[in-house]
A and B are shown apart, each in its own frame.
Chain A
């Protein structure tokens, strides 16, 4: 019976697997090197949990910020966000972290898994983002804006702004010591020189981006 069964079915040809994987790995190696050196931009769209972003310096153009439609439903209640968009930004010492409570398994229960992404730690090679849309709950830093409008109609700033909403817009923005918490980040492209991605485990307060 075992014999007949086997004959009617199939299995993996590892030679073929290798034949497929070798070029793939080579291509990924090139791609990965491009990403890690900042030559190849990547796309981000993250939402659903609070994550933390810090940077030594952010220098951006076409900044807007406005109160956004309350759209995140957390524990039955809606959470408000301040939506901020920057069409192009150079970011030095970017550090982004996400903490996820680990499942209730022996050894890891009660702990938090942290994912940390850093890039652009050389001043002459900052990380670069375009089409950045951040739904934030908190932002801190020393900021300088150029050609700023305060009180502009939010719907004129973005499709996602509300008609009659109170918004800010500036041609340029510089933020020193940026520290922000956000619910979602969407970036059209992100170039991440000296990309470093690491995972760690710790308590809920052990944020790797301090």
Chain B
């Protein structure tokens, strides 16, 4: 029992002694402080280590690199003391740079610790006698140390040191220009004492018996002292140059700004539009088909007619024309299918007939044809050139005058907007319309006052994955009291944006897929894309209104007591 405890105690003492020896044979405190400063700076950027969050971008990158450099300088200084000046200076510079590069040097603390650590590492000097933090020093004390401790020492010190020495060797080789002889590195520990000649222990003789280095360079002695002392500073100058280069490199890395590639979907759309317009014979097929599925609106129907007009004009001959006109007829059918207040109006404008689907579209096609092969079209009920569609218009010759008036008004404007960035639809999305979110946000207000309001129609706004339908309003200004917006959560995050009074003004474009509330405070209404508002007044207000908000643009938005919270 007692024997065991004593042996345990002995072992402990030996371990402590061994550690002390290990500690004293290298710039221990400098390395420790550098490690600590690395940890402090890292911690300053990641205040809760349990909740690590990756920092992105260059500032985030620096918040990892600087602590890493500091910690590495500390460790390498331990395991490769021969290079301590290099590591010390790099650590010192990294600590100073952390002041601007990483949270004010870990809120100053990490910077202070790192500076001291680097300074201490540079200032550490091996004592004159035999060896410096190398295997030889442990062997020197073999007699004093029992086997087990020797072994642990061997494992603890010799092995990592050997590895570190290798690393140090290669590093030293790369950092030192060919001009500096390799002996300079080895001579370094030797010349430290020389620098300390003024120090009390001026035992010159002790400098020479250096088992390890002396073997490497037997000529490191009195007469070479001078040449060495001239060489002496060169490693340091090299270090200074290298570190300056490192700092410059860091600085250079700091400059580039992240390039933001704004995807211009517009351009490609425009291009395809232009191409399509160029070969109008083909284009009429496409928009016609697309229009089939869309709810009607004024611009849209005119767009259709204008297209069919164009196609009719261009299709002077044969089968191409048949194709084009056939599609035009198809397109016109849905245009008059659903009868809403608005479409009814449009219908009247265009010459509203009971349900004579094809007549309007067919009529324009026959109308502009005058140039090429026209005259035959209206009168002979059979097809002039084998076109099935032309048979229909003849059925209602009386309608003929009206339809042209409809398209006549709008033929000129419609082609030009279609060239502008937009997909063909009832209402073209405004030029430069950015992609909108997949799902609308829910916007509510107790009182919503709208000034200079107009309802423009139904529009397909582009999203990343397609389009989303929305009612488009234009207004001079709108005031929501109080305002609340909850964007559709994308990944479970719930964001709530509130304001006691929010005002949007100046060229306001307001897109929503649904608008539900009490019109003028009394009439409950629920406008959707399928049942758009029949008419709007310039000045309107709603109470307890809920919008499915797709998109809003405004020149200016002011939000009193804006409050964004996340849950």
Taking Cβ atoms with an 8 Å cutoff, the residues of A that contact B are: 1, 4-14, 16-17, 20-21, 24, 27-28, 31-32, 35, 40-49, 51, 65, 67-74, 78, 80-82, 98, 100, 115, 117, 131, 133, 136-156, 160, 162-167, 169-170, 175, 183-184, 186-188, 197
Contacts and interface: CB of A to CB of B under 8 A. Distances in A.
Contact of B21 (A5, A45, A69, A184): A5
A133 B122 CA distance: 38
B47 A49 contact: yes
A94 to B, nearest CB: 13
A130 B329 CA distance: 58
Nearest to A154: B437
Given A24-B115, A80-B566, A139-B562, A17 B487 contact: no
Contacts of B556: 144-148
Given A28-B115, A46-B103, A16 B123 contact: yes
Contacts of B552: 148-151
A49 B47 CA distance: 6
Contacts of A175: 562
A170 B555 CA distance: 9
A91 B132 CA distance: 55
Nearest to A49: B47
Contacts of A136: 564, 566
Contact of B96 (A28, A147, A152, A155): A28
A78 B492 contact: yes
B157 interface: no
A53 B435 CA distance: 32
A9 to B, nearest CB: 4
A72 B53 contact: yes
Contacts of A156: 262-263, 434-435, 464
Given A41-B100, A42-B99, 17 more contacts: A6-B24, A8-B21, A8-B25, A13-B125, A16-B195, A28-B99, A48-B49, A82-B495, A136-B564, A144-B559, A147-B556, A151-B551, A153-B436, A153-B437, A163-B464, A164-B465, A166-B487
21 contacts: A5-B21, A10-B26, A12-B29, A13-B123, A13-B199, A20-B88, A45-B45, A46-B47, A48-B52, A67-B491, A69-B491, A72-B53, A136-B566, A138-B563, A146-B555, A146-B556, A147-B555, A155-B464, A156-B435, A166-B487, A186-B59
Given A136-B566, A142-B559, A166-B439, A35 B45 contact: no
Contact of A131 (B45, B57, B81, B491): B57
A70 B192 CA distance: 56
Contacts of B115: 21, 24, 28
Contact of A31 (B100, B132, B491, B511): B100
B129 A8 contact: yes
A153 B25 CA distance: 61
Given A13-B123, A151-B437, A162-B491, A47 B53 contact: yes
Contacts of B550: 151
Given A48-B52, A148-B557, A20 B563 contact: no
Contact of B495 (A67, A74, A152, A183): A67
A206 B321 CA distance: 81
B262 A140 contact: no
Nearest to B488: A166
A4 B145 CA distance: 13
Interface stretch (B8-16, B133-141, B332-340, B526-534): B133-141
Contacts of A188: 57-59
Contacts of A117: 104, 107
Contact of A152 (B195, B435, B560): B435
Interface residues of B, number: 107
Given A10-B133, A80-B567, A72 B51 contact: yes
B132 A10 contact: yes
A37 B286 CA distance: 64
Contacts of A8: 21, 25, 127, 129-131, 137, 140-141
A186 B26 CA distance: 38
Nearest to B64: A45
B120 A17 contact: yes
B144 A1 contact: yes
A68 B133 contact: no
A65 B564 CA distance: 10
B519 interface: no
A186 B46 contact: no
A158 to B, nearest CB: 8
Interface string B500-529: 000010000001000000000000000000
B469 to A, nearest CB: 14
B51 A48 contact: yes
B415 interface: no
A131 B255 CA distance: 12
A4 B100 CA distance: 45
B62 interface: yes
Interface string B92-113: 1000100111111001100100
A10 B564 contact: no
Contact of A42 (B49, B100, B137, B565): B100
Contact of A9 (B21, B47, B560): B21
Contacts of A4: 129, 140-141
B99 A35 contact: yes
Nearest to A9: B24
Contact of B549 (A70, A145, A151): A151
A130 B440 CA distance: 31
B123 A20 contact: yes
B494 interface: yes
Given A166-B488, A167-B437, A184-B53, A143 B558 contact: yes
B147 interface: no
Contact of B127 (A9, A45, A149, A163): A9
Nearest to B30: A12
Given A71-B53, A149-B551, A5 B47 contact: no
B55 interface: yes
A203 B404 CA distance: 80
A82 to B, nearest CB: 5
B103 A164 contact: no
B124 interface: yes
A31 B108 CA distance: 13
Given A4-B141, A82-B566, A184-B53, A45 B558 contact: no
B127 A17 contact: no
Contacts of B511: 151
A166 B437 contact: yes
Interface in B450-507: 463-465, 485, 487-495, 504
Contact of B558 (A67, A140, A144, A152): A144
Contacts of A31: 96, 99-100
Contacts of B100: 31, 35, 40-43
